[in-house]
């Protein structure tokens, strides 16, 4: 009897050892998965990742951190994927007609993000079409041509509870940043003036940014007579919508209003006056790099006056009238926390 038990025990231990060898360790992935309820859950994504990818023999993998937000827009599903491996961040957007295909595509991107220490099954499904590649991702294997497989149908209770969370069901691509710029306003005041601008950036989508700007025009001096002069300065605000083209090109437009002030000295009496100005503003610029927390660029702008403010000295001719067109040039710094 003891001999029989010993033989059975050895057989069981051998089977467990073979099973342990056959089941490779899961990839070191720290995943945050937020998607609508009709999409596969986090456990399905992890299961698919374990199916298509494994560490190469003798390789030690570094942990990969990934945050995935999936939402539905315009009749298709979109995923915003952010990864970080050894301090190197990557960002990518994927799209697909159904969420199951999109989830498989995200899984393939996650597998490739581990780099050459991971081998990917040739039968992995193809990635969805990419709307925008916003930053270089960690080193990855070459593209594959896998075949599609049916989407997983079951969702665990834990995933169901996570997907019923309103926060998980409503991922958002909204980002906020800060704009700082310095340059020259060429004709809005009588002589070219420094132009200092600060603003708030709201990224509503990868291709569209809303900008709220406030600008200061420091004082400049314009002679009136040999013994008298006028000092001009101003404050301006603008609300702009900006579209991104080819990653680094930005086109902006919107309304702009300003308060211009003139102060005369050297006349029979000193005086000052503040007058409104308003118009339309358009700008074109380039900013590098295409994505990142810090971007620097050059912008050329043009204001079209809808109301041409006019200043006149008492008893003298017009001192200054705002022009119809007011160009400007600035160096722009964008900060994205």
Q: What percent of the chain has pLDDT over 90?
A: 40
Say which residues have a Cβ less than 8 Å from residue 299's Cβ, sequence separation at least 6: 181, 183, 250, 283, 284, 285, 329, 330, 331, 332
Interval 71-84: pLDDT, tens: 988 789 999 999 99
pLDDT at 262 over 50: yes
pLDDT for 120 equals 86
Q: Which of 199, 273, 267 is nearest to 234 (CA)?
A: 273
Mean pLDDT of the chain: 79
Give the integer Cα–Cα distance in Å for 199 and 178: 6
Check residue 280 and give its pLDDT.
Answer: 97
Lookup: tokens for 164: 């019923």
- Whether the per-residue pLDDT at 214 is higher than 70: the answer is yes
Q: What is the mean pLDDT of residues 282-308?
A: 92
Instruction: Point out the least confidently predicted range of 91-95, 125-129, 177-181.
Output: 125-129
Question: Which architecture, in CATH terms, is 175-335?
Answer: Beta Barrel (2.40)
E strands, the chain, are 29-34, 53-55, 64-73, 76-85, 88-96, 118-120, 129-133, 175-185, 193-205, 208-223, 229-245, 249-265, 271-288, 294-307, 310-312, 318-321, 325-335
Residue 275's alpha-carbon distances to 118, 179, 228, 312, in angstroms, are 67, 27, 21, 12
The arithmetic mean of pLDDT across residues 134-147, rounded, is: 40
Which residue reads 């009897």 in tokens? 1
Q: Is the pLDDT of residue 9 over 60?
A: no
Q: pLDDT band at 11, cuts 50/70/90?
A: low
Residue 264, pLDDT above cutoff 70 = yes
Sign of the Cα torsion 100, 101, 104, 109 reads negative
The four Cα atoms 81, 86, 88, 91 give a dihedral, to 10 degrees, of 0
Q: CA angle, 142 as apex, 149 and 91 as ends, to 5°?
A: 85
Domain borders along the chain are 24-169, 175-335
Average pLDDT for 264-277: 79
Question: Residue 142 above 60 pLDDT?
Answer: no
Q: Which of 283, 278, 274, 267 is nearest to 315 (CA)?
A: 267
């Amino acid at each position: 009897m003891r001999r029989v038990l010993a033989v059975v025990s050895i057989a069981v231990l051998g089977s467990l050892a073979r099973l342990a060898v056959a089941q490779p360790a899961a990839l070191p992935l720290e995943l945050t998965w937020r998607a609508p309820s009709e999409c596969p859950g986090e456990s399905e994504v992890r299961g698919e990742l374990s199916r298509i990818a494994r560490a190469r023999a003798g390789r030690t993998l570094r942990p990969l951190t990934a945050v995935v937000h999936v939402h539905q827009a315009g009749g298709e599903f979109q995923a915003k994927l952010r990864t970080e491996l050894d301090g190197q961040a990557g960002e990518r957007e994927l799209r697909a007609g159904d969420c199951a295909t999109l989830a498989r595509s995200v899984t393939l991107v996650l597998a490739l993000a581990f780099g050459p220490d991971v081998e990917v099954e040739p039968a992995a499904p193809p990635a969805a079409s990419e709307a925008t590649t916003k930053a270089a991702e960690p080193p990855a294997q070459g593209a594959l041509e896998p075949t599609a497989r049916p989407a997983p149908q079951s969702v665990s209770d834990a995933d169901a509870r996570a997907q019923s969370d309103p926060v998980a069901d409503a991922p958002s691509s909204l980002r906020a940043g800060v704009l700082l710029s310095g340059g020259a306003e060429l004709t809005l005041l009588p002589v070219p003036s420094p132009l200092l601008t600060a603003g708030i950036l709201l990224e509503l989508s990868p291709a569209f940014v809303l900008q709220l700007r406030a600008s200061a025009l420091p004082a400049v001096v314009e002679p009136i007579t040999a013994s008298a002069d006028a000092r001009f300065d101003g404050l301006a605000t603008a609300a702009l919508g900006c579209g991104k083209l080819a990653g680094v090109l930005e086109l902006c437009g919107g309304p702009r209003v300003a308060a211009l002030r003139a102060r005369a000295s050297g006349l029979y009496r000193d005086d000052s006056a503040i007058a409104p100005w308003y118009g339309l503003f358009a700008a074109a610029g380039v900013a590098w790099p295409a994505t990142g927390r810090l971007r620097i660029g050059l912008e050329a702008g043009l204001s079209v006056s809808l109301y041409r403010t006019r200043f006149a000295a008492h008893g003298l001719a017009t001192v200054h009238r705002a022009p119809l067109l007011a160009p400007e040039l600035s160096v722009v710094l964008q900060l994205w926390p």
